[in-house]
Amino acid sequence: MSIQVGDRIPEAVLAYIDNGVHRIDTNTLFDDRKLLLFAVPGAFTPTCSERHLPGFVEQFEAFRSRGIEVACMAVNDPFVMQAWGSSQHVPTGLRMLADGNADFTRALGLEMDASGYGMGVRCKRFALYAEAGVVRGLWVEAPGEFRVSSAEHVLANLPG
């Protein structure tokens, strides 16, 4: 079963690069803040690189002006996420998170089998808004679609 609005964020460990590889548990990442986490099936893939991540880069300050931190996640390694972020000119503060073994993705119940594309287990395309570790908004895309998890749609539909 997938995570729902009102649920607490499950515990898992993600990785990112900032002067070396760092690990961060989801309690530390989500607690005591407003965080918008959007997830993509894979770094450097067409829709993710041409539309999804660029939308959040463009709207980054709109989220920040509302006191919301932004993070991007994919089932990739932290080196790929860092390289993708650099290639997309991700602003400082938009954290690029790696869920290398899909542990967090599975804990959320938002995994998909992309074996047909040679990609193995990946996360569905989604956006999740949490306050103090509790899900307040969740937008999960239907397979092959990109609408509800876009930065513009999320901004227009944030709760509160």
Measured CA angle at 126 (ends 119, 110), to 5 deg? 60
Q: Are 158 and 65 in contact (CB under 8 A)?
A: no
Please compute Rg for the chain using Cα positions.
14
Strands (E), 41-133: 68-74, 95-98, 111-113, 121-123, 126-131
Active-site residue among 48, 73, 110, 127?
Answer: 48
- In angstroms, rounded to a whole number, what is the distance separating the alpha carbons of residues 27 and 154? 23
48 is catalytic: yes
Active site residues: 48
